[in-house]
Structures are given as C-alpha cells and as structure tokens.
Amino acid sequence: MQQRPDWRCCQRGSGKCWIGKLRLANTALGIIATTVLEMSSVAWAGELGYGFTPGLTAGTDYVAGQVIVGYQDDAASDKLLKAAQTAGGAVVKTLSGAERAVLLSFESEAQAVAAIPALRNQPGVQFVERNGLVRVSPPLLTLPVKGDFNRAGDPALGLITPTAVSTDPGTGFQWHLPVIRKTVLPPTLALKPPTVAVIDSGVDWTHPDLASRVIRGKNTILNNLYPFDDYGQGTHVAGLIAAQAGNKIDGEGVCPNCKILAIKVLNAGGVGTAFDIADGLEYARTTVTVPPVRVVNLSFGVPASALIAQKVLALKTAGKLLVAAAGDNNVTSGAGFPGADPNTALRVMATEQNDCRAWFSNFSPATKPTLYNIAAPGWQLVSTTPNLGYAGQSGTAMASAVVAGGAALVWGQLPTLNRDQLVTRLVNNGQPLTCGFASATRRLDVRKAIAPTVAETALIGRLLDPVSGKAPTLNTLPATVQLLAGATVLKADPTDRSGFYELTGLKAGTLRLLKGNRAAAPAYVNATVRNGMAITAGRVAGPYTDALPLAQAAGTATVTLDWKTTQPIKDTTSCTSACNGWELDLWVKLPSGVYVGWDNPGDLRAAPFVLYPRDSQRDQEPVETILLSGLAANGVYKVVAQNPWAGAANWNDAWTHSQASVQMYNGAAALGTFYPTPPATCGVKPYWHVGNLTKTGATYTWVSVNVCSNTRP
C-alpha cells in the first residue's frame, strides 16, 4: 500500500495550492493585515498608516509613487496641497466629508518617499499612508453547472425541488438554504427589505436573475456610474444575496426581495486600491437609495489602511451594518482587515455541508473567541456569474454574502431593530458549532433570528452516491429519506438536487433510524443509513452525510464507508489534528492477498472484477465504496477502513468522533451488521478491520471482526 500524498501548499500569492492528487485554486481572500491605527483617537498628528512596515515594497504591496493623506478640514487642505505641489505631487482623487483624504501621485517612487516627511508635518494632517494594493485571487470553482439547467426548455424546469423555497431549478443545488433554515421561513417575506451595497468587482446587471435587482452605483476606479462586473466575484456575491426567486431561472438569493447597490472597486484582474475601496465604503454610506442601504458587504480583505478604518467606523456610527469576510488563510493570527476589525458588525467565517469549518477559513483563537463572530456556508455555493452563467465558488467571500443576505432578510422582517440589536439577534440565535473551530462559534440561522422563541425540532442532512460523490443520479429524481421509530415511519422527505433533505415538525425521541431509498430507475438500495439517533426537542439535528449506493444485480456486492466530514484539512495554530476532519480510505483485501483501494483501483470488467471507483480526496466528500462483481473469485474478502494520517500535519489521525460507518449490500439487499462507529479502542491505530465477506458464487456471508490495529490485516 503506497503512502498517501501529503498536503503541499505553494508560495502565497502564486494562485494555486495542491492537495494530494487534487489541485485547488486559491479562494477569494488571501491578504493578512497588521494592526491599524486606533480610530477612536481624535488627537492624530501626522501618524503613519499603511505601507511603512519593513518588507513592504512599492508596486507589490502599494502603488508606486502614490501617497494618501488624511486631513481635518478645508483650512488644512489648502496648505497640504501647496506642500504637495512643492514636492512635485499632483492630486489624483479626493474624498470629502467628515473623513477627508487626498490621493497624491508623484513622478517617481523616490519623489513620493522624499515628500512624506513634509506632508506629515503639515498642520491638520491626521495620517499619511501608501495606497495599498488588493489582489483578489480567483475563487475555487466547483460544480460546473453553467447552462446545464437554467434555461427555458430544460426538462428540469417545473420540477419542484423539495428543499427549495421557490420552483427555480437551481435552488436544489443551493445546499446553504436549508442549512441556514431559510427554507422554513414564513411564505410572506418583506417586499422592501434594506438595500445591500456590494463593494466588489461590480455586478453583471444583464443576468436575468439580477436584472430587476441592481441599482447601478459608482465605479470608483473610473469615477463613473458604470459598475459592470468584468471579473466575476461581484456577480456571484450579488446572486447569493438577492437573486430573484420564482422566475424559473437559476436559483435564488438569501434575500430575494433585496435590491443590490453595485459598487465597483476591483478591476478586470481582481485588483483594487485602498483609496478606491475607501471611496466605495463612503459611497455606500452616503448614497440615497430606495429602499435605503442598511447592509454593506465586503467579500475580500484589504491592507490595514487608516483611511479604510475611518470609513468602517463611519459606517458603524451611521448605524449601517458592515459584513466582511474573515479570510482564506486557515489561520487565527495576523487577523484579516476589516474582517477582524471590531468596528465591522459581522465578521464571517466559512463552513461546509456538515457544519464544520471549511478548510481555508480563518477563525477565532481560543484566547479571543469573538475576533470573528459568525459563520455561514462558504463551500461550493452555486450562484450567478457573468454572461448568463451559474456556477459554484468557495471562500469566506461567499460566506460573507450569505450573512449579508441573511442580515437584510431579518432586518426586512424586523425593521425596528437598530444595527447593534440586529447583530445580537443574528449572533446569539446562530446554531452553536465546534467542529473545526478553536472556540465555540455560531452559524447563521435566519429562522431562529426572526422567531427566537419558536422552537424548531428537525433533522437535516444529505444522501450521496459513493461512486460519484454527488446526489443520487439522476439528480432530478429525488431519493426518499425516512425517519423511523422501529418499523413506524415518523417523517419522510425527498432529497433535492444536491442530496439534501430536511425532516421538520419532529418530536423528541431516541433510537431513531434513518432510511434512504429510491425506487425509480436507476434504483438505489432501500436501507438503514444511520441508527441509534436521538432527536432533541427544540433543536435541529445534523446536517449528516450518508452513503446511498445504486442497487446492483444480485451477486454483486457493494461496500460503503461514510463519515462526518473531510474538513478542515491542514494543521494550523489553534487547530491541529483533533480539530480537523478525516480523510479515510476503504480497502478490500482479495483472496489473493492483493488490496484494492485508492492506489490500486482494480477493474469491474476484467480481473479482479473488484473496483474502487472514486477517491474521496478528489472532491472532499466523506463517502467511499468498493464493488465486487459476481465474476470475482470465490473466497474471503477482508473489509478494512484506514485512517492514514498518524503524525501528519493534516487531517485527524484519531477515529473518535469520526462517525465512520460501513455498510454492505448484495445487490439491493443489506448484508451484515451496521457499525455506527469504530470501537473506542481504535484511538490512532490506522487500520479498522471491519469484517470479512466470504463469496461463494452469488452468495455472500459476513463475519464481523471490528478491531483496530497498527498493521494492516
């Protein structure tokens, strides 16, 4: 058995990382900020802001030859401009209002550096800093569903996806909607919730899911009112927030009745400057729209700019709610700005489908649990993209958009709340999480934020085909999930196009069974996928992930392995092995002594007639399977699960809390004992010998072993 490829991450800024055999693009936020000036001070006098930390370079970290000067009043402005002209500087842009600033450009970097001491000493100058550069990396693209189902004539149109809140065909892929409990909101939502300002790469307002939602705001780069998206992130973010519902196009936003004020601060390459971003924040605060802007979303990090910090504080003072992404560096130190600025109302971490921290997301250290104060889904979220597209992206950028949409949705339902009351409502009523976090964290729950005194008892989760790692195929034909007490069906629900289900209106109870099946062709097994479940009154259990395989012909055996989650992945400060997810492997040892698994996948059409069809490390879905054809040799097949990461700097090396479960089937019939967890004695022993399948023709018998060891069986 070969050694698993270790996690290898390339130099920051190169744009790509590698995970085993899978290449992942950097997600949308990668800038780490240092401490900014204390914005509550009124005694500034020529302070140095961003750009003077050793190691920062012109042209890479800030615009060469440009200097930002913040000043107090018009009297200071006159003297400042004369000093700038004397030093060879020219005014490029200005910001008026309570937080005045000017952007100066010099003919050379040396000239700019030489001018700074004189500029600092001018009366009324508050700070001098460099014009920091922001480079937003392309987000991790997933689920390439563009054009697959979102146009008229598609057979999926008209199908009602069970967990959708509208009949739009794409909502079945929007797993974040049931997780944040939007799907159980009252059918009547506020018609005019607050407008959400999206400060990003602009918005493609020609997209049919956004055409009626976008207010064209400022392009701060070109200083005009044409904020069209030529990069892509802003349109994706806008769709997550406010894509139209009920129009039979794509999916819908968290706040589908919201308007979007589009503000463009990033160019076609995803690059922006601190001054233009500050201009965007000022525009969001002061521009009059109908309905008024009350929520502002910033889905990327910026340098620790004194000017931007002023604008963040000004938004807070104005009672507007700034939502910002925590960052995608998998760290707690070197906090991102403004995602960790306490003046930012909602500072957003990202989660995945199993309510664990997404592998890239920054998070709060145990010593400062409110550094970031809320989490939301941010992994593989499908939304609008430019040129009539619809695709998946991942990042705290996406999580920030979900929270911004949720904040506007709740504010629309409860318009008398002020900013601080809304923040408290959202954070305190979030779902408590610990998986992948160094301290207790709350994940957005819009239903509970709107009605915190109305208890919900429910169960959510998803069924995945372990061969594909996706919802049962065809995903337009739902599988059915049943919750049982013994043989009595308590509740049933069909899955959506991402495999998600939600069982609502439950009553408390123990020893519940969860079954999955699909009778329609192609048929899936009808079997228990989880047992011994406890349903607690007033709580939403899950989300869980369970494997549901295709029903094979009698004589073909299917072995499945599923577990809690694969994320987070890589050790970091405050989150090492026990904090991570699991990357488990399923193996079958043939009668010949050869193992079939990820490094020897076998073949179902030729000897050994045993196949390992998919490696979970490829797509980070916690399900695997091995198929044994009726043509396979007779004899004993040892079924082994492996946790290969002992001593490694990635994934969890212990079986505890993994929820690892192995099931076996002959054709469509369940075979053998259902194991909810490996034995408690497994610890960090890498091999779990589940049991032995003895094949005799088309017949299989199962003998349980259920022990762990340091050597493979």
Pair 229, 274 in one domain: yes
Final residue of a domain: which of 416, 450, 484?
450
By CB atoms closer than 10 A (0-12, 13-18, 19+), residue 525 is: buried
For residue 103, what is the enclosing H or E element?
strand 100-105
Q: CATH code at 642? A: 2.60.60.30
Report DSSP state, residue 201. B
Helix then strand count (H, E) for the chain reads 10, 39
Which of 560, 645, 644 minimizes the C-alpha distance to 1?
644
Model pLDDT, residue 169: 86
What are the E-state strand segments in 548-696? 557-562, 585-589, 595-596, 602-603, 610-611, 623-628, 635-642, 661-666, 669-675, 687-696
663 falls within a domain: yes
Final residue of a domain: which of 391, 420, 450?
450
Final residue of a domain: which of 394, 416, 450?
450
For residue 412, what is the enclosing H or E element?
helix 396-413
Q: CATH code at 62? A: 3.30.70.80
> For residue 514, what are the domain limits?
458-551
Q: From the centroid of its chain, how far is CA 580?
A: 16
Cβ(569)–Cβ(581) below 8 Å = yes
360 falls within a domain: yes
11 falls within a domain: no
The sign one gets for the Cα dihedral 160, 161, 167, 170 is negative
Give the 3-state secondary structure of residue 310. helix
Which of 567, 185, 177 minimizes the C-alpha distance to 382?
177
Pair 516, 566 in one domain: no
41 falls within a domain: no
pTM of the shown model: 0.91
Q: Which residues contact 85 (CB under 8 A, 6 or more apart)?
A: none
677 falls within a domain: yes
Model pLDDT, residue 38: 44
Nearest-angstrom CA–CA distance, 420 and 431: 19
Cβ(394)–Cβ(406) below 8 Å = no
24 falls within a domain: no
Q: Which residues are bridge partners to 651 per DSSP? A: none
Model pLDDT, residue 486: 94
Pair 577, 537 in one domain: no
Contacts 24+ apart (CB under 8 A), 477-482: 477/518, 477/520, 478/161, 478/162, 478/518, 479/516, 479/517, 479/518, 479/524, 479/548, 480/516, 480/517, 480/518, 481/514, 481/515, 481/516, 482/514, 482/515, 482/516, 482/517
Report DSSP state, residue 255. S
Q: Which residues contact 527 (CB under 8 A, 6 or more apart)?
A: 515, 516, 517, 548, 663, 665, 670
Give the 3-state secondary structure of residue 176. helix
Nearest-angstrom CA–CA distance, 163 and 335: 36
- Which residue bears the tokens 């090492």? 576
Pair 334, 479 in one domain: no
Pair 376, 515 in one domain: no
31 falls within a domain: no
CA atoms within 13 A on the CB side of 580: 26
Pair 353, 468 in one domain: no
Cβ(247)–Cβ(151) below 8 Å = no
Cβ(238)–Cβ(379) below 8 Å = no
Q: From the centroid of its chain, how far is CA 40?
A: 33
Q: Which residues are bridge partners to 708 per DSSP? A: 688
Nearest-angstrom CA–CA distance, 679 and 458: 29
Which of 479, 623, 636 minimizes the C-alpha distance to 551?
479
Provide the b/e sequence for 153-187 (b: ≥16 CB within 10 Å): eeebeebebbbbbbbbbbbbbbbbbbbbbbbbbee
Task: Give the Å distances, CA to CA, from 644 to 17, 257, 633, 653.
Answer: 21, 48, 28, 7
Nearest-angstrom CA–CA distance, 542 and 365: 25
Provide the b/e sequence for 114-125 (b: ≥16 CB within 10 Å): ebbeebeebebb
The two most distant CA atoms of the chain are separated, in Å, by 94
CA atoms within 13 A on the CB side of 607: 5
Nearest-angstrom CA–CA distance, 644 and 431: 32
Nearest-angstrom CA–CA distance, 376 and 104: 40
227 falls within a domain: yes
Pair 399, 496 in one domain: no
Pair 425, 287 in one domain: yes
Residue type (1 letter), 554: A
**Could you tell me the mean pLDDT of each successive run of 10 residues in the chain, 713 residues long?**
38 27 32 39 67 94 97 82 90 88 96 95 93 84 33 28 61 94 87 97 97 97 97 97 93 96 97 97 97 97 93 97 95 83 96 96 94 96 93 95 98 97 98 95 97 94 96 90 96 95 96 95 94 94 96 96 96 90 97 97 96 94 97 98 91 94 94 80 95 96 94 94
**Domain count across the chain:** 4
Give the 3-state secondary structure of residue 113. helix
Pair 533, 649 in one domain: no
For residue 702, what is the enclosing H or E element?
strand 699-709
Nearest-angstrom CA–CA distance, 555 and 202: 57
Give the 3-state secondary structure of residue 181. coil
Inter-helix orientation angle 109-120/74-86, to 10°: 140
Nearest-angstrom CA–CA distance, 261 and 281: 12
Nearest-angstrom CA–CA distance, 7 and 359: 12
Nearest-angstrom CA–CA distance, 230 and 91: 27
Cβ(71)–Cβ(151) below 8 Å = no
Query: β-strand 260-264 against 195-200: which pairing, if any?
Result: parallel
Report DSSP state, residue 193. P
Pair 492, 595 in one domain: no
Q: CATH code at 466? A: 2.60.40.1120
Order across the sheet with 540-547: list the strands.
Answer: 500-503, 458-464, 540-547
Which of 405, 403, 195 minimizes the C-alpha distance to 293?
195
Pair 499, 590 in one domain: no
Pair 147, 192 in one domain: yes
